[in-house]
Amino acid sequence: MQMLTKFESKSNRVKNIAFHPRLTLLLSSLHNGSIQLWNFQMGTLVERFDEHDGPVRGIAFHPTQPIFVSGGDDYKIKVWNYKQRRCLFTLHGHLDYVRTVYFHHEHPWILSCSDDQTIRIWNWQSRQCIAILTGHNHYIMCAQFHPKEDLIVSCGCDQTVRVWDFSGLRKKTTQAQPTFGIEDQFQRQANQLNQPADLFGNTDVVVKYVLEGHDRAVNWVSFHPSLPLLVSCSDDRQVKLWRMSETKAWEVDTCRGHFSNISMVLFHPKHELIISDSEDKTIRVWDMSKRVSVQTFRRENDRFWVLTCHPKLNLFAAGHDSGLIVFKLERERPAYAIHQNTLFYVRDKFVRAHDLTTGTDAGVVSVKKLGNQYIQPRTLSYNPAEKAVIVTSSAEGGIYEILQLPKDLNVSQTVSEEAGKRGTGAAAIFISRNRLAVFDKNSQNIEIRDLANSLTKTLKCPVPGVTDIFWGGASAAGGGGMILMASPAAIILFDVGQNKVVAEMQTPPIKYAIWNAEGSMLAVLSKHTIIITNKTLSTSKWIHETIRIKSGAWDDSGVFVYSTLNHIKYALPEGDSGIIKTLEQPVYLTRVKGKLIHCLDRNAKPKTIPIDPTEYRFKLALVRRNYDEVLHIIRTSNLVGQSIIAYLQKKGYPEIALHFVQDKSTRFDLAIECGNLEVALEMAKAIDKEEAWTRLGQQALKQGNHKIVEVAYQRTKNFDRLSFLYLITGNSEKLGKMAKIAEMRGDNMSRFHNALYLGNAAARVSVLKDVGMYPLAYITARTNGLDDLAQEVLEAAGLTAEEVEEFLPNLPSSKLKRPTPVAPTYERNWPTVGGGESYFDKALTSAVTEPAGYSGGFTDSAGAGAAELDEWAEDDLAAGDGALAAEEAEEAWDLGADVGEPEAFVDAVTGDQAEEGAVDVSGGVNEVDLWARNSPLAADHVAAGSFDTAMQLLSRQVGAVEFEPLKSLFLSTYRSTKMYLPASASLPPIPIHLRRNPESNDPRSILPVQVHTLQSITSGDLKTAYSEFINAHFSESREMFRKILWTLLLVVTSSPKEHEELQKLVILCREYIIALSTEIERRRLAAAQEDQKRQLELAAYFTHCQLQPPHLTLALRLAMSEFSKAKNYPTAATFAQKLLDLKPNQKVVDTCNQVLRHATRNPRDTIALDYDQFVSFDICPASLTPIYAGSPSVDEPLTGARYHPQYAGSVCKVTLITEVGRKVSGLRSTV
C-alpha cells in the first residue's frame, strides 16, 4: 500500500476539508479565517472567501445545491453560494466556537456543534434553529449525521461518544399539517405566544447511547457507511471501534500506535480499513478485522489536523500545519489486455473475459492470492497461442503469476493456482509463443523464462536505470521477440534473440507503451506527454498535455485516441491533436471501433462511450490528401467551429474553411486568402468598409481581375489609381471621365495626370496656367504647337513674346506622346496562369466530384449515342451490334485527349460590358454525356461508353494498370444500359437509354441503370463459386471469385451500409483467391511428387485464410490428413483442435481425437517447416509465403493483399489488373 499524491497545496494551517460530491472541487478552511475553493484535478485555486473572524473549523458542501456551509470561532454559521461567490446568509445562535457543520443528505437541515456544549439543527431554508441537543458537559468536538438512518453521533471533551435518534424530529417536520380556519389559526398563535419554545429537553431528538471508554477528550467520531459500527479517536492516543444494535452499543476493540493526540479518524469506504491522522505527524491505516496498523505515512515537520474521504471516489484529503494533500491508497488503473474482440481485465482479484461484440462478461481465473488484499494487480499480459496470462503486482517488491485460462471463456469458474508458476520481478510480459521476459529492477537483469517458469536465459540491461519493460513487437530475425525498455530519459528497443539494441529514442519517463493492431505504429505515454513513432523509433511526433494522461488506444484509421483526467482526445500520426469528448470521471480506453470507445471505469467495469470521429477523420483525410473522404465528410456532417476553421487556415486550405463559415468578416478573410474573388466581392459589399475594399482591390490586381479592381477603387474613391488602371487597360472613354471628375473636384494634380495620360497638351497648359506656373505653361504650349494658348499665357502673365524670347533657347517640338497599352484589355479580364476555381470550390458546388485532374468525361461525338471506344471495343461492337454504325467508334482511345469541360463564361462585374445582339445557339447535350458528367463512378462512365475516363478513374481509385481482363465486362455493361425500339424498315432502330432514376428530369441528376448489384452477385456468381469450391474444382472456383472481384468495380451502392458490404465482399474474394492459389500450387507439387516440405507448408497456409466455416472445415481436414501422413503429428493436432472448435460431425470428431492421441505419443514433427502457427501472418499472393506481423510489406490497393517488398510495382496475382504498392484514393461506389 502506498500514498499516491494527486494534489498538494501550501497554505496556513488547515482546520477542515470538504469534497464536492460530484465536481472536482474541494473546500479547505484555514486557521487564519480564510476559506479556499480548489479544483484539485486541475490544481488551481478557484475562489477565496474571507468573511469569518478567526479560524474556520467546520466546512461542508450541500449534496445537490451549489452551496456550502462554514462555522468558525466567531460563533457564526455562514451559508455560501460558490457559483455566485458570495455569502447568502448567516445563522446566529451558538455562544462559543463552532466546531463542525454538516448538511443532511435529504432534509434542508444543517447540523452544528459548538464549545457552548450544544448541538443545533437548523433549517437553512427558513433560516431557523429547529432543535437544540444538550447533554455533553464539555466542549463538543464533532457531530455528524448518519449517511442513511435517523441518527446523529457526537463526541466531546467530556470523554464520551453519544448517539442521538432524531426520528421524532423528522416525523414532526415531514408530516402533513392540518388545515385550520382563521379563528383556529389566531388561537394557535396565541397558545404559542403564551407557551415557551420547547427547545431544551424536548423529545424530538433523544440520546440513544452514551459510549464511555476513552481516558481523555474525544476529538472525532465517524459512522461506518453501511455497517452498524462507529470509530472514535481521542487525546489518549487510541482509536476505538464500537458496534451498535437496536438496544445497545459496546466497544469492540482498540487500536494503539499513535504517539500523540489523534485528530481525526474514519472508515475506508470500500475496504475493511480504518484511517486516522494525528499530531504525531503520521497518517495510519488500520486493518479493521485484525485491529493492527498495516501502513504508516509520515511527514517530517507538519502535524495533521483533519482527514476526510470523497463520498464517491477513491480519494482522501488530509490537512496539516502548512497546507493539505489529496491522495489515494491504491492504483485505480485496472490491469487489462485486449486480443481481437475479447478484453481480459482484473476486477476484485479475478481475471475476467469480456466479449466486446456481445457484451458477455465472465470471471475466468482467480488471483486473490497474488500480493495482498489491498493492492490490485498492476499489469496483465495475454498469450493467445497458449491461452495464458501473466498478472503482475507491486506487492512484496514486485511479483508475477502465470495462469492458464480455461477453453470456454464464457463460463465463470475458479482456477486454483499451480505451484511453480509464480516469481518475483518488477515486470513480466510474454514476448513469444512460449517465452516470457521478467524484469528484475534491483539487479537490472532481464530473465527469459518458458511457460513452466523455468529460467532459460538471463540478459543484462544494455543501459543503466531501466524502470520498466514493454512488448516491442516481433523480431525481424526471429528467435525471441523484442522488448521496449524504459529508462528515465529514453526508450530502448532491444532484440532478445540477438541480444542487441535495435533503436533508441530520447523521451521523458515512460508509463505505458501502446501498439496499433498492425504493429507498425507505437504510442508511448508519460505523465504529460504522448510520443507517436514507428516500429523502428526513427520518427516521432510529440503531444504535450497540461494534465495527467491516463490511457490510450489506436483507431482503425491510424489515429491515436487517448484519455486525460477530464477529456477524451485524439492525436494524428502527424502530430495534430484535439478534443473528442469531455469526461466527468477518468476512464481507461481499451479499444476504439467506429463511433464507439470501449473502456474500463475506475471500478474496472467495462462500458462503451459513443463518440463522433468526424473531426479527426476529416483532419486525417486532409493530411493524407484523401480528398474524396474530405468532400464526403463536408457534405454529410455538421463540422463547424472556430477550431476547425483555424486548422484549415493553418494547413493551407482556406477554400475548404470558407464552406464552414457564415460570419461575413471571416468569410471575407478566407476568400481573400484562397483567392476566391467572387465570394470576397460579395462579402465586401455586405461589409462595405474601406479596409475591405482596399484588400479586395489588392488581391484582384494580383489575379488580373481589373473589373473588380475598378469597383474597389471606385468604392474607396482612389481616383489616382483608378486613372492609372484605365490607362494601362486602354479605356480612353473612362479616362476622359476621370479628367472631368478631377476638374469638378478641383484637384489640379489629378487633372494634370489625367491630361498626361490622355495626351491632351491643351489640358496640361490649362492646369499649369490655373496654378500660376506661367513659364511651364508657355513652354508646354510652344513645344506642342499651341501658339494661341501660348499667347493667352503671355497675356495672363502681362508679358510679350519679345520680352521672353531673349531668355528662351530654340525649343524643339515636343515628342511626348500618350502612352498606349500593348492591347486594349478593358473589355475583358487579363488571362491568368493556373487561375479558376480550385478543386474544392468546384466539388463543393457540384461542378466535379473527383480529385484534381478529373476531366469530366465528355466527348464531342458526331452520332447520336456515340462515344469514344478503344480499338478492341470498336471491333466487337462492329461485329456484334448492327444498330451502331462503324464510324461511331472511329476515333482511337486517346488518353491524352482533352475531355474537360468548356471554360465557363465570366460575367463582367459592372454589367455594362456585355455585348448586345449576340445569340448563342447550340445543340443539346447527349444523354450519355450527362451520365459521365454527373457521376464520378467508373460504372457510370462505362455505361456511357466513355471507357477512357472509366479507366482513368479505376487507375486513380484502385491502381488498375491492366485492362484486357475487363474487356468483356465493359462491353456487356455498355450494351446493357440501352434498349432499341424498332422503327420503319428503312430506318435504324431508335436507341432508348435506361436510367436508374427515371422520375428525375433534372439534367444534373440523370444517371444510367444499375447493371450489376450486390444482390445479383451474391445470389448468382457467389453461390456458383462456393459450389465449385465444395466440388474441388479449384481453378474454376478461383476464376469465378476473380470475376466477382472485377464485377464489384462496376457496382453502384446507394448507402454507406451497402458500400461496407461491397468492401467485405472484396476481402472475401481476396481470401478465397489466395486460398485457392495455395491449394492449386500444392496439388501441382503433389502431382509431380516434388518438395514434400513445401506441400505441407502450403496445406498449413491454406487453413489461415478467412474462409466460411464449412470451407474452413474442409481445409483443416485436408491439412490434418496431409500432416498425419507426413507424421508431423503435433502440428496435425493443432489442426484437429481447430476442427473440434468448429463442432463438426461425429465422424470428423473421432478422426480428430485419433490424431490428438497420435500427437501425445509422438510429440515431435518429422519435417521442420517454415510455419509458426502461433504468430499471426498474411500470405503473399506472389510467393505464397507468410508475411508475419511487423515484417515489411507493401499492399495491393484494391483488396489490401500484402506482398513482400520486392513485388512492389508488379501486377497483383489476386486481381490480375492492379499494381502492387500504388497510392490510390480508394474504390468509390456511391455518387
Interatomic CA distance for residues 570 and 592, integer angstroms: 11
Cα angle 494-496-502, degrees, rounded to a multiple of 5: 30
Q: What is the DSSP string of 130-163?
A: EEEEE--SS-EEEEEE-SSSSEEEEEETTSEEEE
E strand segments, 535-601: 540-544, 549-554, 560-564, 567-571, 577-582, 588-593, 596-600
Among 975, 996, 863, 874, smallest CA distance to 923 is for: 863
**8 Å CB contact between 361 and 368:** no
Q: Mean per-residue pLDDT for 391-406?
A: 87
Which pLDDT value is given to residue 843? 56
Q: Which residue matches cell numbers 440520546?
A: 207
Q: How confident is the model at residue 678 (pLDDT cuts 50, 70, 90)?
A: confident
**8 Å CB contact between 345 and 335:** yes
Which pLDDT value is given to residue 639? 66
Is the pLDDT assigned to residue 428 strictly greater than 80? yes
Cell numbers representing residue 938 in the block: 467508373
**8 Å CB contact between 473 and 518:** no
Alpha helices in 451-552 (DSSP H): none
Interatomic CA distance for residues 994 and 996, integer angstroms: 7
Interatomic CA distance for residues 425 and 396, integer angstroms: 10
Q: What is the CB neighbour count within 10 angstroms for residue 695?
A: 17
How far from the centroid of its chain's Cα atoms is residue 1184's Cα?
37
Look up residue 565 and give its DSSP letter. S
Interatomic CA distance for residues 4 and 331, integer angstroms: 8
Among 854, 903, 864, smallest CA distance to 887 is for: 864
Report residue 703: phi and psi, to 5°.
-90, -5
Which pLDDT value is given to residue 219? 93
**8 Å CB contact between 750 and 723:** yes
**8 Å CB contact between 30 and 321:** no
Is the pLDDT assigned to residue 1215 strictly greater than 50? yes
Q: What is residue 818's three-state secondary structure?
A: coil
- What is the rounded average pLDDT for all residues in the chain? 82
Interatomic CA distance for residues 4 and 375, integer angstroms: 13
Residue type, 274: I
Which pLDDT value is given to residue 782? 80
Report residue 1117: phi and psi, to 5°.
-65, -40
Residue type, 163: V
Give Cβ neighbours of residue 760 (< 8 Å, ≥ 6 apart): 739
Question: Could you report the per-residue pLDDT of 1162-1213, keeping only the tens digit for each?
Answer: 878 888 888 887 778 889 999 999 988 878 899 998 899 999 999 988 999 9
Q: How confident is the model at residue 79 (pLDDT cuts 50, 70, 90)?
A: very high
Q: How many residues make up the chain in this entry? A: 1231
Q: Which residue has the higher pLDDT, 397 or 887?
A: 397
Is the pLDDT assigned to residue 592 strictly greater than 60? yes
Which pLDDT value is given to residue 920? 41
Interatomic CA distance for residues 1117 and 727, integer angstroms: 90
Interatomic CA distance for residues 533 and 575, integer angstroms: 10
Q: What pairing do the DSSP bridges indicate for beta strands 77-81 and 98-103?
A: unpaired
Interatomic CA distance for residues 1198 and 1221, integer angstroms: 10
Interatomic CA distance for residues 780 and 790, integer angstroms: 8
The mean-pLDDT minimum among 77-81, 411-415, 850-854, 965-969 falls in: 850-854
Q: Mean per-residue pLDDT for 387-397?
A: 87
Give Cβ neighbours of residue 126 (< 8 Å, ≥ 6 apart): none
The mean-pLDDT minimum among 249-258, 902-911, 1130-1139 falls in: 902-911
Residue type, 493: L
- Percent of the chain having pLDDT more than 70? 86
Q: What pairing do the DSSP bridges indicate for beta strands 990-993 and 1177-1179?
A: unpaired
Is the pLDDT assigned to residue 578 strictly greater than 80? yes
The mean-pLDDT minimum among 124-133, 332-341, 699-708, 1041-1050 falls in: 699-708
Which pLDDT value is given to residue 862? 30
Q: Which secondary-structure segment (H or E) carries 282?
A: strand 282-287
The mean-pLDDT minimum among 6-10, 517-521, 655-659, 810-814 falls in: 655-659
Is the pLDDT assigned to residue 817 strictly greater than 70? yes
Q: How confident is the model at residue 885 (pLDDT cuts 50, 70, 90)?
A: very low
Interatomic CA distance for residues 168 and 166, integer angstroms: 5
Sheet strand arrangement including 14-19: 14-19, 25-30, 35-39, 44-49
Report residue 882: phi and psi, to 5°.
-65, -15
Which pLDDT value is given to residue 867? 33
The mean-pLDDT minimum among 98-112, 249-263, 615-629 falls in: 615-629
Residue type, 1053: T
Look up residue 431 and give its DSSP letter. E
Which pLDDT value is given to residue 1222? 87
**8 Å CB contact between 818 and 757:** yes
Interatomic CA distance for residues 1174 and 1002, integer angstroms: 59
Which pLDDT value is given to residue 642? 61
Among 307, 287, 309, 313, smallest CA distance to 372 is for: 287
Interatomic CA distance for residues 31 and 28, integer angstroms: 10
Sign of CA dihedral 369, 372, 377, 381: negative
Is the pLDDT assigned to residue 879 strictly greater than 60? no
Which pLDDT value is given to residue 766? 87
Which pLDDT value is given to residue 186? 40
Which pLDDT value is given to residue 931? 79
Q: How confident is the model at residue 728 (pLDDT cuts 50, 70, 90)?
A: confident
Which pLDDT value is given to residue 801? 73
Model-level pTM? Answer: 0.56
E strand segments, 408-566: 422-424, 427-432, 435-440, 445-449, 455-460, 468-471, 482-487, 490-495, 500-506, 510-515, 521-526, 529-534, 540-544, 549-554, 560-564
Among 273, 332, 256, smallest CA distance to 307 is for: 273
C-alpha distances in Å from residue 145, one per residue of 119, 121, 149, 1041: 12, 11, 8, 74
Is the pLDDT assigned to residue 561 strictly greater than 80? yes
The maximal CA–CA distance of the chain, rounded, in angstroms, is: 141
